Structure 1
Amino acid sequence: MITVLALAAYAVLVGVILPYALSGARWTHRAPTAAVLAWQGLTLTFVVATALAVYHLVLAEQHVHDGIVGLLSTCGLAADAPPGDSPAGPADIGLLLAPATIVLLPLGWLAATVWQARRERRRHAGLLAVIGAEAADYGATVVDHEVPAVYCLPGRAHRVVVTRGALDLLTDEQLRAVLAHEHAHLRGRHHLVQIAAKAFARAFPGLPLARRAQEQTALLLEMIADDRALRSHSRDALATAMCEVAAGRAPSSALGAGGGGALIRLRRILTPEARPRRMTWAGVLLASVTAPFLPLLVAC
């Protein structure tokens, strides 16, 4: 029972308490890539800790396990199980469905979210093939729409979309800066990270970690794309372009230059802060990688 309580407390810490602390940390906006890894590490840690807590809870009274070796024995995978032990019956195997559900639930939602996103992208790509016109100078698809908007459609047939309103409103420098932002999304495959965060939020609705991980991941991915665009374009060009296209809304399957948290991003671009030290980055990376393994040590 002590193991169950320890694992449950760890799951509560990761799923309820740490999300508020991480979302309020100042260093995350100075190192968005490390912050995204931290959120991913928390989500994986929560799944592992919760699954192990449920496993120990439902099997502790059945006397069919002895730590990790017992789990393998119940599954018929342990080679050194005592010869006198009887094989696990259907009831024992059925008990494993409870912890397995904790793992399979986010995986199932991940598959469903991927399928839904691909379907929406294919539908939107078909629409762009009819109403869009290619602009070779900018490597983008132009849509005849008066609201200024710039967004990218990820996937195999990825493309950057610009409305006629954005072309008329933005200068050449502003347009190329915001296009660099969108190409950074495509090169970094940011849509995959966003889909994973969305699937976790669907699997555990109401969980503070799920809600804040989805919100913060979307904002941090925009900051990462901003930083990539700033490598070759001025801060003024990107900031003014963001202001002009902030009103434009991208489709749900795309990533828009306006995006969420536009005011936060504008302040970050115009008043940059020093990046965290390498030791801080390394510490966040180490913690994100090792945190999911701590519940396994407790279980063992």
Structure 2
Amino acid sequence: MTSTLFLAGYAALVGVFAPRVLARARWTHRAPRLAVLAWYALMATFLVTVTLAAYHLVLREQHVHDGLVGLLSACGLFPVGSASHAAADPATLLPPALVVLLPAGWFLDRVWRTRRAQRRHVALLAVVGNPSADHDAVIVDHDTPAVYCLPGRYRQVVVTRAAIKVLSQEQLGAVLAHERAHIAGRHHLCHAMVDAFGRSFPGLPLARQAKGQVALLLEMAADDRALRLHSRENLAAAMCEVAAGRAPRAAFGAGGSSAAVRLHRLLVPAATPGRAARLGVVGGSLAALLVPLLIACGPFFG
């Protein structure tokens, strides 16, 4: 039971304490894409740890260590000796398989629901919207300035006429670049993965923190991509104008509740982390993922 206890403790560390530290880190807003990677590394680490803990608990630590084959056997990747009978029993693999299949099922459910909602909205836009070749977007008559996009298969950028009236050409170009960054980055899939993890582990601090943090970081990442071609002033001014606009379900909007935080980030820019810091975050994320494998497969925890 030694490995199972160590894995359970590590899962608690990753699922409860690590997200608090990452959420308070100051560098995340300066490197949003790197921070998203760190959040996904924590979620992947938690999944791997819980899966291995469930596998060890079912097998009651009946492992065979014999070189590389023994290592694979200890990890449940190769049936050898006494472990072969356990691996051959489907009931043995059911608990760890459920840990993996549950978030996978929720992910597919979220993608399907999002696609269905987008399909309905696209049908509505075909009636009330007017495609504009100049803006490469669909224009909708509405009194509220708003800009949003539908990612995925039905990718479209939507702009209200009120937004076109209040935004200059430079400001409109900046906010349109922000929305196209969501589409190019497939951010809807990123949201679907976080949502699936949260539904699989409701109440887990990691799931709660990741949902809000990743949503904000993806908006910042889209801002950064828009800044490659547009100025901070134009993007910030456009955000102020469309902040009150609400995006429909299954869409990304340029405004929203995170606009104030993003606006401050645009107007008070900070230096991005250096190469050493970035390599440290990537290395730490990989190391965190390797720890449960070392616990499960290492001879010191047998």
Q: Given the two structures, how large is their TM-score scaled by the length of structure 1?
A: 0.91
Q: Against the structure 1 CA distance between its residues 70 and 260, is the aligned structure 2 distance closer, same or farther, given a 3 Å change threshold?
A: same
Q: Which of 191, 195, 199 is matched with 1:198 structurally?
A: 195
2:81 paired residue number: 81
For 1:126 and 1:160, locate their aligned partners in 2 and report how far apart those are by CA, in whole Å. Answer: 14
Q: CA deviation at 1:289?
A: 2.8
**In the alignment, which residue of structure 2 is the partner of 1:254?**
251
Q: Report what 1:129 is aligned to.
A: 126
SS at match of 1:29: coil
C-alpha distance 227-75 of structure 1, shift in aligned 2 (>3 A): closer
Task: Give the 3-state SS of the residue equivalent to 1:142 in structure 2.
Answer: strand
Counterpart Cα distance in 1 of 2:136 and 2:162: 17
Deviations 1:197-216 (A, max 9, x none): 11111111111111111111
1:20 partner amino acid: R
Deviation at 1:293, TM superposition (A): 2.2
DSSP-derived class of the 1:15 partner: helix
Residue 230 of structure 1 is matched in structure 2 by 227
Aligned counterpart, 1:186: 183
1:158 to 134, 137, 155: 155
Residue 59 (structure 1) shift: 2.2
Give 1:275's match in structure 2, choosing from 272, 275, 279: 272
Q: Deviations over 1:70-119 (max 9, x none)?
A: 985998953x436xx884498x5313312221111111111111111111
Using the alignment, how far apart are the partners of 1:132 and 1:145 within structure 2?
10
Q: Quote how far apart the aligned CAs of 1:266 are.
A: 0.6
Correspondence 1:287 to 2:284: yes
Match of 1:104 in 2: 101
Q: Which residue does 2:172 correspond to in 1? A: 175
2:116 pairs, out of 119, 123, 127, with 119
Query: Do 1:74 and 1:87's aligned partners in 2 also have CA atoms closer than 8 Å?
Result: no
Distance 1:89 1:100, change over 3 A: closer
Q: Distance in 2 between matches of 1:22 and 1:89?
A: 37
Quick one: distance in 2 between partners of 1:69 and 1:105? 29
Quote the Cα distance in structure 2 between the aligned partners of 1:283 and 1:122.
42
2: CA distance, partners of 1:287 / 1:66: 30
1:26 alignment partner in structure 2: 26
Answer whether contact 1:73 1:81 (CA < 8 A) is retained: no
How many residues matched? 294
Contact 1:74 1:93 in 2 (8 A): no
Tell me: CA distance 1:73–1:41, structure 2 relative to 1, closer, same or farther (3 Å). closer
State the alpha-carbon separation in 2 of the partners of residues 235 and 184 from structure 1. Answer: 16
Q: Deviations over 1:240-277 (max 9, x none)?
A: 11111111111221111113421110110000001111
Q: 1:243 is matched with which residue: 240, 253, 273?
A: 240
TM-score of the superposed pair, with normalisation by structure 2: 0.90
Letter in 2 for 1:29: H
1:36 aligned residue: 36
Q: How far apart, in 2, do the equivalents of 1:122 and 1:25 lie?
A: 39
Choose the corresponding residue for 1:208, options 192, 205, 221.
205
Equivalent-residue separation in structure 2 for 1:236 and 1:270 (angstroms):
8
Partners of 1:249 and 1:258 within 8 A in 2: yes
Structure 2: runs of 5 or more not aligned: 298-302
| Residue 146 of structure 1: how far off its partner (Å) | 1.1
**Contact 2:3–2:56, Cα closer than 8 Å, also in 1:** yes
Q: Do 2:64 and 2:81's aligned partners in 1 also have CA atoms closer than 8 Å?
A: no
What residue identity is the alignment partner of 1:39? W
Structure 1: any 5+ residue segments left out of the alignment? none
CA contact (8 A) 1:222 1:259 kept: no
Report the aligned-residue RMSD. 2.3
One-letter amino acid of the counterpart of residue 105, structure 1: L
